[in-house]
Each structure stands twice: as structure tokens, then as C-alpha cells.
Amino acid sequence: MNKVYVCFPGGKHKALTMSYDDGKEEDRRLVELFNKHGMKGTFHVNSGLTDAVRIPMEEYEMLYEGHEIACHTLTHPTIARCPMPEVVDEVLADRKNLEALLKKPVRGLSYPNGSYSEEIKQVLPALGIKYSRIVGDSHNFNLPTDLYEWLPTCHHNNNLLELGKEFVGLAKKQYLYLMYVWGHSYEFTRDNNWDLIEEFCELAGGREDIWYCTNIEYVDYMEKANGLQFAADNSFVFNPYATSVWISVNNTIREIKGGQLTEL
């Protein structure tokens, strides 16, 4: 029987995603840095909050082009303390505002103040939300097992460069690795450590063996990868989706094109 492994796009075995909250003015510098190094970020914003330190909504589409804009609730409440109708309204109103602006589905969330509950997790799929990030650090590169309690690898202030060096050096291709970095861009100004994220981008950006993705790109791709339809003996596979998925077959990378039956 063929030995088959699912791969990230292009046959890669490592993925890097960045996630930053609140839509503050410092996002401008951070986006420029990501663009310079070919990296991608997900920016979780509150469409109901407008002040001098936040990016104006009319600038979102141009500023965050090539990245993901996702929900962070309308007004950033500690939602585990709120009645469920208020939680639903906070998420849906934020999503509706962003979709009206961007003219495309917005399907991601990060919990404001890291606040969530099992009840909130259970209602998110009905609100069109595909994933939500929590606050905390795993300090590993494991793939998420619960997309509504998505624990990142690290906040940028917690061993970022040490973990980045470890991630870059990972070579065993029998595993898939995901490095997920989170934070708030204003923290770089507050902590006077823009050099930290600049050094990380120099270290981890622009590498041929890493897939740089937004949060939703990771979610969508893995859904398709896990939805491939294999013959019982691994002699062929059908990809029911419109876009390609990559697999390794006996240590050879194969692109499985959308809508096609492929002999292995």
C-alpha cells in the first residue's frame, strides 16, 4: 500500500501564521514588516470602536490587503460575563459591519480579553465563525485540535526568537508543524521592542520550506486536506474541492488538483 502523508501547499511541512488584535495604528508598521518578508497576518478588529489610536475602517481594505481581517467583537466586552443574546449581537454585528465593508465573508474571531465559555464556543458555528483564538502559549508547534479554543504557540514577548530558531530548524518531514504567534502591535511601541519582531521576521520570513498563511487560510486548507477521498488501498484519491491539495506519496510530493480523480 502507498504511504501517504498530507502536506501543506507546495508539499511543505511547516506553516507560520501571525495574529494581532485591536486594529491600532501600529498595525501599519507591522503590516509593512510582514509584507517585506512575505509573511501573513490575521488582524482581529472591533468595528464598533473608533478613536484616534485605531485604524479607520475605510482604510482596512487597502492596508490589510493580502492578510485576513477577522472579528474581535463589536465593542470588546469580557463576553464570558455577558448574557448570550449580547454575545451573539457582539459577534454578529462585528461580522456584519466588516462584511459590508469588505464585500466578502468574515469567518474568524479572537476572544476579547481572552474571555470565552463552553456555551460561547457551541454557538459560534451557527454565527458563521470557523475558529477563535484564545489567550495563552503552548510553546509547541502542534496543530490545533479544537479550532474554537485555538491555543497559539506564543505571544511575541514569550520566547519568540528561541521558538523561531527551533521552528526554522525543524527537518523531520513525517510531521506537520504550525507556529502561531499572537499579540497586539501597540505592545511593540509600549515595550520599546520593535527590534524583536523585526529580528523574528528576518529569521523566519522568506523561506522556501515554510507556508505563510492567515488563520482562515490554514483552517480552509486543512478542511480540504482532511476531506480528500482515498481508495481503501490508497491507489487513487478524489479531491471534491475546487482547489489543489498536496500530499506525499512514498516520499514524492503530489499535487491533487480540485475536482479530479488522481491515480497514486
Domain chopping of the chain, boundaries: 14-224
What is the residue whose three cell numbers read 476531506? 227
Summarised one tens digit per residue, pLDDT across range 159-168 is 999 999 999 9
Span 155-181, average pLDDT:
97
What is the DSSP code string of 152-201?
-SEETTTTHHHHHHHHHT---TTS-EEEEEEE-THHHHHTT-HHHHHHHH
CA 239 to chain centre: 23
Summarised one tens digit per residue, pLDDT across range 202-225 is 999 999 999 999 999 999 999 999
> What band does 120 get if pLDDT is binned at 50, 70 and 90?
very high
Statement: the pTM of the whole predicted model exceeds 0.95: yes
Q: Give the architecture (CATH level 2) of 14-224.
A: Alpha-Beta Barrel (3.20)
Query: Which of these, 4, 8, 68, lies nearest to 232 by C-alpha position?
Result: 4
SS3 (DSSP) at 35: helix
